[in-house]
Structure 1
Amino acid sequence: MGARMTSPASALAPATLLLVLAALPALAADPALKLHQGDIFTDPVGSVMQVSITNGTAATIGSAVVTCAFTAKGKAAGSASTTIFNIVAGAKGEDQVHLMGASADAASCTITATTPATN
């Protein structure tokens, strides 16, 4: 039996599709989405910050990524993110951001990406 030959175009099709999907931009954070940071605390694993987003838009947000830059005594300690899913219009979604392995005393968080609800 001979080797099966594929054209270069068909061999690249799945990889190209993945690149196209990865390049699709997430929605920019809407100013009607209000990010709230809670207190920061440390535990044996690292540092934790409670975060919440209040959805002031008329639509459900499918997901929102919150990224926090943690500092310790004014110096960078690391960054971590969380994704909050299905934030209904007029409601609040919340989660915790966990920085593993570092003790931080402050953090600055932002909404770095959002996606619309799928239904």
Structure 2
Amino acid sequence: MEDPMNVNADFTLKAVMDTHALAWAQSPMAGVDRQPLDREGDEVARASSIVRYIAGSGYSAHTHGGGEEILVLKGVFHDEHGTYPQGTWIRSPRYSRHAPFTQSEGALIYVKTGHLDYPLTA
């Protein structure tokens, strides 16, 4: 059985997954489930996932030390910085902080975290 905190972590190997066949894994927050596509690390990780927020669910405020990118696939995603309907792409830089949530629509998002931890140049 594959370690749930290390999924497709070897970037030298091709990875193909049928997301329709993947099971949903519960996140630490009620009503927020995810399908890890690639992941290396514990709860704070370099990861790509499909995340499902049921209507009215949310995630506690947290910081993304390595940045985050989100593509809203379905529904409407929110945080204290804005409202993001289906088709919206969001890139938040290193050390950005937010408390995401959904309202009556819920949301399905693709999220990639930890990959923007690159060396800054002068």
* TM-score (norm: length of structure 2): 0.30
Bigger radius of gyration: 1
Specify which structure has the higher proportion of helix.
1
Work out which structure has the larger RCO, using CA pairs closer than 8 Å and 6 or more positions apart in sequence: 1
